[in-house]
Structure 1
């Protein structure tokens, strides 16, 4: 089946990389707003009988969802064989239970909404927390890609004598995997989150790693409070300035500038969300998983 990619605004670079790996066509679309704020979408490339890949990373998702929905529905109306969502960063994974009376479980609602108009879903390291698999939230065929091997490769190629530092107990499994593949030691911190911007982090045991380069690893860098606090601890412990690595470059508000000003030597992210820190390209493994998903769907 012929594959055609449509890139939502801001996803052009990833779409070009995926099209090259998949030997696929890139379609042209028009997405704009009417003066009253309503969305207008138009597919300028024929999609009849083709598998349509909609490439749209879902940071700041509320403004992206309607154009994404309209594009999927338009493609199906125009005869597309399927519409498959490629979203390197998947939003609305955090609120997966009712923490306070009256709260909405938005993770579940968002999953139902996406599943209603996409035939498959491909994403990278979703924030599963209390979920054992993405299929608990999405009732469509899906692929979860892990960035750990690519992060390990980057560390091996660029850092001498690293020590990896995970932010909390939830990070043990994947930080240990990155460390193992990079041939590096690791340590895990204890984190207490008092609020979105008030995070208390335990002082890491770093006495044995004074001559190592600390690598702080996390899946999402949002407010960056955890990393900033850890950078300060490492500074007081007279460690080398750390390198901060995140899979998803959310960087809410001035988080990136604050992290750099805290004393981090460098901030590196994967290219799941476009940002100037993107140094680790995941397009090859995303394309590989798209192929597998299409074969089995």
Structure 2
């Protein structure tokens, strides 16, 4: 795919411009109008190229996900034939199984919903705790999961040489290990117990911490 344009929402202008510069293509913005009841009206460029990159991070996801699901079919109406979604943070991936009867497995449902609207997806370090790849939950769509861990390790090593990298829990081991190993930094993870969304208890690992940069 050789995109002709990077299309983004107006609150991601700087990121869109950086991505467009790297791809050596122009960038354009989706304008948004917010009605008093919170509903959004979107305005895209009136003509779009056949191959399009659409950038949308999905932190604070509910509003952004609805707007994205409006923008994607609108982009096809305006000329896009292949759409690559670049979503640095891919929301709703944490609920990857029903922990109690009746819980919706949002990872599977949201991933399938997006897969029906885009031809490809690039994201960074998604929550794939119980699956091996995005392909398992995004049928018919090529999903690519990049990792920022080595870059974070390089940044940490440059800022504080010899630092100890500490992850919040066992699920973070895959990332903290990749960051540490890339730069020869020591690493460890905490033990976390979650009793609620804001009630979390963390025990430090049994490693020497006194006097160390963490």
Give the TM-score, by structure 2 length.
Answer: 0.90
Deviations 1:170-223 (A, max 9, x none): 22232122111122112222222122222222232243x433201xxxxxxxxx
Aligned counterparts, 1:139-178, within 5 A = 139=139, 140-178=141-179
Task: Name the residue aligned to 1:58.
Answer: 58
Distance apart, 1:101 and its partner CA: 1.4
Q: Check conservation: 1:8, 1:68, Cα contact below 8 A.
A: no
Q: RCO higher in 1 or 2 (8 Å CA, sep ≥ 6)?
A: 1
Distance 1:34 1:176, change over 3 A: closer
Deviations 1:10-37 (A, max 9, x none): 2111111101110011124322234565
Distance 1:200 1:118, change over 3 A: same
Question: How many positions carry a matched residue from both structures?
Answer: 212
Distance apart, 1:150 and its partner CA: 0.7
Task: Name the residue aligned to 2:17.
Answer: 16
Task: Name the residue aligned to 2:130.
Answer: 130
| Unpaired stretches in structure 1, ≥5 consecutive residues | 215-297
Q: Check conservation: 2:4, 2:49, Cα contact below 8 A.
A: no
Task: Name the residue aligned to 1:117.
Answer: 117
Distance apart, 1:95 and its partner CA: 1.2
| Unpaired stretches in structure 2, ≥5 consecutive residues | none
Aligned counterparts, 1:20-99, within 5 A = 20-34=21-35, 37-44=38-45, 46-49=47-50, 51-99=51-99
**Root mean square deviation, CA, Å:** 1.8
Distance 1:134 1:121, change over 3 A: same
Task: Name the residue aligned to 2:197.
Answer: 196
The 1-side partners of 2:173 and 2:69 are apart by 36
Q: Check conservation: 2:5, 2:28, Cα contact below 8 A.
A: yes
The 1-side partners of 2:185 and 2:176 are apart by 11
Distance apart, 1:160 and its partner CA: 2.7
Aligned counterparts, 1:205-220, within 5 A = 205-207=206-208, 209-214=209-214
Give the TM-score, by structure 1 length.
Answer: 0.66
Moved more, 94-103 or 170-179: 170-179
The 2-side partners of 1:174 and 1:67 are apart by 31
Distance 1:97 1:108, change over 3 A: same
Aligned counterparts, 1:271-290, within 5 A = none
